[in-house]
Structure 1
Amino acid sequence: MADPANYRPAPGSIPDSPGVYRFRDEHDRVIYVGKAKSLRSRLNSYFADFAGLHPRTQTMLQTATRVDWTVVGTEVEALQLEYSWIKEFDPRFNVRYRDDKSYPYLAVTLDEEFPRVMVMRGARRKGVRYFGPYSHAWAIRETVDLLLRVFPVRTCKAGVFKRARQIDRPCLLGYIDKCSAPCVGRVGEAEHRLLAEDFCAFMAGDTTRFIRRIEQDMRAAARVEEYERAARLRDDMRALERALEKQAVVLGEGTDCDVIALAEDQLEAAVQVFYVRGGRIRGQRGWVVDKVEEVTTADLVEHFLIQAYGESESVPREVLVPARPPDAEAMTELLAEQRGGPVHIRVPQRGDKRALLETVGRNAMEALKQHKTRRAGDLTTRSRALQEIQEALELDEAPLRIECYDVSNLQGTHVVASMVVFEDGMARKGEYRRFSIKAVEGQDDVRSIHEVITRRFRRYLAERDKAAREAAEGPEVDAAVDDVLASYGFDDADDAAEGAGARGPVDPETGRARKFAYPPNLVVVDGGPPQVAAAQRALDELGVPEIAVCGLAKRMEEIWLPGDDEPVILPRGGEGLFLMQRLRDEAHRFAITYHRQRRSAALTVSELDDVPGLGPARRTALLKHFGSVRRLRAANAEQIAEVPGIGRQTADVIVTALRGAPTGGPPDSRADGGGS
């Protein structure tokens, strides 16, 4: 790798003005393009403190061998030049949005002699009017089928149109009045173009004019007793209304805006856009992006606006975003220049627009989940991920079974831990385990990790010895082993599985799967060097040296190995890092879920904790019988005494503690909602 100090520009050689810069590698390829209000300030920030930079930025600087720049007059010119260079050079370290799928558009070919309505994908071409994008092609065809009754524009291909002209006979749509049949001269070029323009106007949101016009013609036909024509016009109006019903009204009539929302993690981000025209959602589109550089949400918004509207002919009057881009004024000026009119970039704070932005955000989150699911489900991708991890950690074999551990607590209370299992790169939820930490006082993740690893692998050793004994002596179960296991706190409540039954070797006596019989190839802990050292120390104390250990630090996505002073950095966008991140996130999710359950249970029984004579078993029995503390408080002493294990004296004590005075009469009438 190159040393950035070798190509650092000489002091004073960088101009203090707006501009765009390019980092190039040893083959003179552009690997990163950036813009700056002050080139001097921005470029000096890369070379002033290399150790303080983000690891991804360090990798970019070490890959590059030189940097050059171009001075421009304004920030708007810098935005335009940055977009042009990103499009031209496609730098590997820049954020690049890509469609998460191919979206169809409704296109009207106004550049042809007789415009055609069609479904179109791929690159746009000049002279064609586009509407959408739509989620599915069938949605376009349904809309077109309804509108052709009122706007009978041709939909046939060029070959079919030419053939119909030659034989002077229209196609089926011409016979059923869903095409004006310009191929046989039923309408001229000007009349057919007017139909196409009316079709475009309706799709663009000018709907009221056409519905009112058809309604007036229908009433006029009825007045002169042309009932058949009036009935056809009535059906035309209903067709237009049905087409409008397929497009949800979300904002005020006349509102034109694009609503942009993001969902992101440390590696990737998903973007969803709802296109609102005339207050109705006219289309939807999604993108995903690999975060190959350190970026904030505002940076992602800026990159998206540049790439989405850089050459677009349909910039709306208003763009709703989750965060304002860093150079909002320059971006607004650039979009206004592109549109030929004013453009407003806003972050809605309340009302219908805020609610719509939240809806788009939920769509973005779902799109990110689906993208990760598709990526994780591919066998080739999973194999490549395991191979990348094996090579990076220098393992003897691919880690076909990986276990990841995470600790969750709230200021040192209700400390719990989770263990999730991935086999062949896929989650095995039936083998997830959760732990209630007993030996830790205060907020100490290191001691918690040590305890969890000790408990898990002490159980593994016991299961292994038990299986070996059974193989040698038959299926007789050694009860002493079970007593030892119980003495370490292993029970179904604390070491519980998430799935409906763990997989693994079956105990010949109980018929149930042994919980900790399989050892992993790799143990991953959520944390840095202290947590990794604690996990390795626990394995060494148990005499289990054959299992590899590493830690994944969340902030930098670094992998730490025991005893190493420097972390291992997996390639950004690589499948190995993606799998490690999924492991860590799943362990965190499982730990948080268990922690919330424990905290909720503790809050539920908190009012009963100080009642004399009530232990955990009696509290549980009372809550199970009444369902909640509120219902228990409303009950009288006789009703409470009916609970197994609760006598009349204890019932009086409970009533006194919860309501302030004992009562042997009927339940409190206020609690029952009755009167005297």
Structure 2
Amino acid sequence: MAPQDVKPPPAPAALAAALPGLPRCAGVYLFKDQAGRVLYVGKATNLRARVSSYVTTPARLCPKTTLLLAQAVRVDYLITATPREALILERNLIKQHTPRFNVRLRDDKNYLCLRLDPREDFPALRFVRRFAPDGALYFGPYTSGGSARETLKVMKQVFGLRTCKDRRPAPRTRPCLEGQMGRCLAPCTGRISREDYRTAVQEAVQFLRGRGRSLLRSLKADMEKAATDLDFERAARLRDRLEAVRHTLERQDMARPTFRDQDVIGVAQDGDHALVLVLLVRGGLVSGSREYYFPDMPAGGDLLGDFLSQYYAEDRLLPDEILLPWTPSDVKLLTEAWREQQGKPVRLWCGGGKSPEPEAASGNETSSPSQRRRLLALARENAQAALRRRQQATRVGDPLLDLKERLGLPAPPRHLECLDISTLQGRQPVGALVVFREGRPDKARYRRFRIREVAGQDDYAMLREVVSRSFGKEGRELPDLLVVDGGKGQLRVVLETLKELGLPEFPVVGLA
């Protein structure tokens, strides 16, 4: 009898065979394909019960989960001591493996925020694009660069905080231009003490946290005390600052009757397409929004829970309150993780069910249920409008569909990569790889390769090196289409290199 290739059993059968070996405890499970690539990472309070739900109720699964099971041939797991540890481990594994069937969020590094480090002798306000757990204070993010710069302008005019890049300002005999214009207290000249500068810093932090009304009362009391003590020079400075703060607050005529920082989540869904919108409310003001589009529903069907787990990762500053359209399944686990991450309770209010109340705020800082419902309705309407815009753009001249038809591809290239080799007059060769997802640049995944193994001008050898280094990494996600800058020769080298790496075939084209 001639030998025959033994094919692996269908995915549900392979997973069912693994069920008896799964423990009944908290942990993380990983679905993998025939090549060992991680397809999906999930968390569970009971690993066996969670994985069994995939194979015992196949009729209830969404199309994307069905596709996941068709490709998965094994399931691995990691046991954790608590469900909260499983949540953190799930985040880390998703970030490490970027599985195809998990929720993916675009990097928000383009959003500006203000950073102030109180450990500096004379803290400065600076623009940064990422929050970091470094002990500094962060304010934002600002979805508009104009609004961020306007905020910084107000902070300089009202409080006089320095914005120079030096961590420790060098001594000067004359103030810089900002100091001469009255937009910096100029601690570098020694004309203000460290204590007085830190008082201005505390007032600025109070203002940025949305406590402007409380700051007005404090400034007024300090001004009256300075006048009583016959310190008229200080009283005049406080009077000017008081008027500047009052003028700034009066311009915010659309302020809501709350000074909380809130994230309001809106979800819109149409078939397999979904969009999650985060409405940013900072200091009672709607300051902007972020959109996250999902052309396919995530495996498992828990879009809101998966989104919250990934969106509020450990490097993101949590607001005082999060408004949700309904109660996610892991609400208790999420609130515990956020409490530990933030160092204090994060208030969660769910529009479709009973909301956990970690600690009720006092005074008039708490939004009423009707105000919260109006914000949720606003977020939902914006999410629905954004989803319609996305779908309309897809229906009217979708370039990915056009590219699919022109190149005869099996599916639209939702994940597109482009490769090029460049030199500077024959020297300093580098390779560049750019990535597009859903027709948009994914700049967080751009890569630049310094050519290490090739001497002289040999484009073919350089291409071989770059392809080997990029696609030779274990678990590397393959694109729907790879575009190579070059003709038939360059294309042949790339195809040969991919074949030598043992990778499954995928479309590759040359652009001469």
Question: What's the TM-score bracket when you normalise by the shorter of the two chains?
Answer: 0.5 to 0.7
| CA distance 1:125–1:81, change in 2 (3 Å) | closer
TM-score by length of 2: 0.65
1:117 corresponds to: 125
Checking the alignment, whether the CA contact within 8 Å between 1:147 and 1:239 is kept in structure 2 is no
Matched, 1:175 2:194: no
Distance, in Å, in 2 between the alignment partners of 1:62 and 1:260 is: 33
Checking the alignment, whether the CA contact within 8 Å between 2:19 and 2:51 is kept in structure 1 is no
Matched, 1:384 2:388: no
| CA distance 1:320–1:50, change in 2 (3 Å) | closer
Output one character per residue of 1:335-379: Cα deviation in whole Å (capped at 9) or x when no partner: 222223333422237511101111122233344345556667787
Checking the alignment, whether the CA contact within 8 Å between 1:270 and 1:286 is kept in structure 2 is no
| Matched ranges for 1:191-590 at <5 A | 191-216=196-221, 233-245=238-250, 247=252, 251-253=256-258, 255-276=260-281, 278=283, 280-281=284-285, 283-290=287-294, 292-294=296-298, 299-312=302-315, 314-348=317-351, 350-371=369-390, 380-387=399-406, 391=410
Output one character per residue of 1:514-556: Cα deviation in whole Å (capped at 9) or x when no partner: xxxxxxxxxxxxxxxxxxxxxxxxxxxxxxxxxxxxxxxxxxx
| CA distance 1:372–1:125, change in 2 (3 Å) | farther
More helix by share: 1
Checking the alignment, whether the CA contact within 8 Å between 1:119 and 1:137 is kept in structure 2 is no
Report SS of the residue matched to 2:95.
Answer: helix
| CA distance 1:384–1:128, change in 2 (3 Å) | farther
Output one character per residue of 1:150-188: Cα deviation in whole Å (capped at 9) or x when no partner: 3111012339x86xx366332111012211112222234
Question: Residue type of the partner of 1:145?
Answer: K
Question: Pairwise CA RMSD of aligned residues?
Answer: 3.7
1:501 corresponds to: none
Distance, in Å, in 1 between the alignment partners of 2:166 and 2:407 is: 51
Checking the alignment, whether the CA contact within 8 Å between 2:62 and 2:299 is kept in structure 1 is no
Checking the alignment, whether the CA contact within 8 Å between 2:172 and 2:188 is kept in structure 1 is no
Distance, in Å, in 2 between the alignment partners of 1:267 and 1:101 is: 28
Distance, in Å, in 2 between the alignment partners of 1:216 and 1:52 is: 65
Question: Residue type of the partner of 1:347?
Answer: C
Checking the alignment, whether the CA contact within 8 Å between 1:251 and 1:352 is kept in structure 2 is no
User: Structure 2 residue aligned with 1:94, among 78, 89, 102?
Assistant: 102
Report SS of the residue matched to 1:304.
Answer: helix
| CA distance 1:340–1:321, change in 2 (3 Å) | same
Checking the alignment, whether the CA contact within 8 Å between 1:106 and 1:119 is kept in structure 2 is yes
Structure 2 residue runs without a partner (length 5+):
1-6, 353-368, 413-478, 482-512
Checking the alignment, whether the CA contact within 8 Å between 1:168 and 1:184 is kept in structure 2 is yes
Report SS of the residue matched to 1:158.
Answer: coil
Instruction: Give the count of matched residue pairs.
Output: 391
Distance, in Å, in 2 between the alignment partners of 1:102 and 1:371 is: 21
More strand by share: 2
Checking the alignment, whether the CA contact within 8 Å between 2:117 and 2:136 is kept in structure 1 is yes
| CA shift for structure 1 position 214 | 3.0
2:65 corresponds to: 57
Checking the alignment, whether the CA contact within 8 Å between 1:259 and 1:274 is kept in structure 2 is yes
User: Structure 1 residue aligned with 2:48, among 40, 48, 58?
Assistant: 40
Output one character per residue of 1:468-525: Cα deviation in whole Å (capped at 9) or x when no partner: xxxxxxxxxxxxxxxxxxxxxxxxxxxxxxxxxxxxxxxxxxxxxxxxxxxxxxxxxx
| CA shift for structure 1 position 326 | 0.8
Further displaced range: 307-316 or 173-182: 307-316
Distance, in Å, in 2 between the alignment partners of 1:232 and 1:193 is: 15
1:664 corresponds to: none
| CA shift for structure 1 position 63 | 2.3
Checking the alignment, whether the CA contact within 8 Å between 1:16 and 1:38 is kept in structure 2 is yes
Report SS of the residue matched to 2:31.
Answer: strand
| CA shift for structure 1 position 68 | 0.8
Distance, in Å, in 2 between the alignment partners of 1:120 and 1:392 is: 39
| CA distance 1:228–1:41, change in 2 (3 Å) | closer
| Matched ranges for 1:58-73 at <5 A | 58-73=66-81
Question: Residue type of the partner of 1:269?
Answer: A
| CA distance 1:11–1:99, change in 2 (3 Å) | closer
Question: Residue type of the partner of 2:127?
Answer: V
Checking the alignment, whether the CA contact within 8 Å between 1:21 and 1:70 is kept in structure 2 is yes
Question: Residue type of the partner of 1:361?
Answer: R
Further displaced range: 198-207 or 371-380: 371-380
Question: Residue type of the partner of 2:52?
Answer: N
Distance, in Å, in 2 between the alignment partners of 1:374 and 1:120 is: 32
Distance, in Å, in 1 between the alignment partners of 2:338 and 2:224 is: 45
Further displaced range: 190-199 or 83-92: 190-199
Question: Residue type of the partner of 2:200?
Answer: L
User: Structure 2 residue aligned with 1:23, among 23, 31, 39?
Assistant: 31
Distance, in Å, in 2 between the alignment partners of 1:181 and 1:121 is: 26
| CA shift for structure 1 position 203 | 0.8
Distance, in Å, in 2 between the alignment partners of 1:574 and 1:268 is: 19
2:461 corresponds to: none
| CA distance 1:336–1:390, change in 2 (3 Å) | closer
Output one character per residue of 1:9-61: Cα deviation in whole Å (capped at 9) or x when no partner: 34522222232100122332211001223222222233346576433223222
Checking the alignment, whether the CA contact within 8 Å between 2:132 and 2:315 is kept in structure 1 is no
Report SS of the residue matched to 1:274.
Answer: strand
1:428 corresponds to: none
Checking the alignment, whether the CA contact within 8 Å between 1:274 and 1:281 is kept in structure 2 is no
Checking the alignment, whether the CA contact within 8 Å between 1:105 and 1:121 is kept in structure 2 is yes
TM-score by length of 1: 0.51
| CA shift for structure 1 position 316 | 3.8
| CA shift for structure 1 position 123 | 5.4
Structure 1 residue runs without a partner (length 5+):
394-572, 576-676
